[in-house]
Amino acid sequence: MGARITRAKAKIAAAHIPYRVPAAEDLPGRVSGVLAVLFLIFNEGYLASGPDTVMNETV
């Protein structure tokens, strides 16, 4: 995972994509996407999608 992040950072830097905080008026339209990703990450961590890779042993 660390290597992926490092490669992604290098690609962003090479493409000269600036980091900027979204304006306040842009945030409401982005919240639903962020919440959906957080929901999916939580669920995958709780009960993995593969049948033999259950993460939570209480399930």
Query: What does the pLDDT look like over 12-49, one tens digit per residue?
Result: 999 999 988 889 999 999 999 999 999 988 887 666 66
Residue 11 belongs to some domain of the structure: no
pLDDT at 58 over 80: no
Report the C-alpha gap between 13 and 7 in whole angstroms: 10
Residue 6 belongs to some domain of the structure: no
Residue 54 belongs to some domain of the structure: yes
- Number of domains comprising the chain: 1
Report the C-alpha gap between 55 and 58 in whole angstroms: 9
pTM score of the predicted model: 0.45
- Residue span of the structural domain in which 44 resides: 23-59
Residue 9 belongs to some domain of the structure: no
Residue 17 belongs to some domain of the structure: no
Residues in CB range of 27: below 8 A, 6 or more apart: none
Residue 42 belongs to some domain of the structure: yes
Residue 27 belongs to some domain of the structure: yes
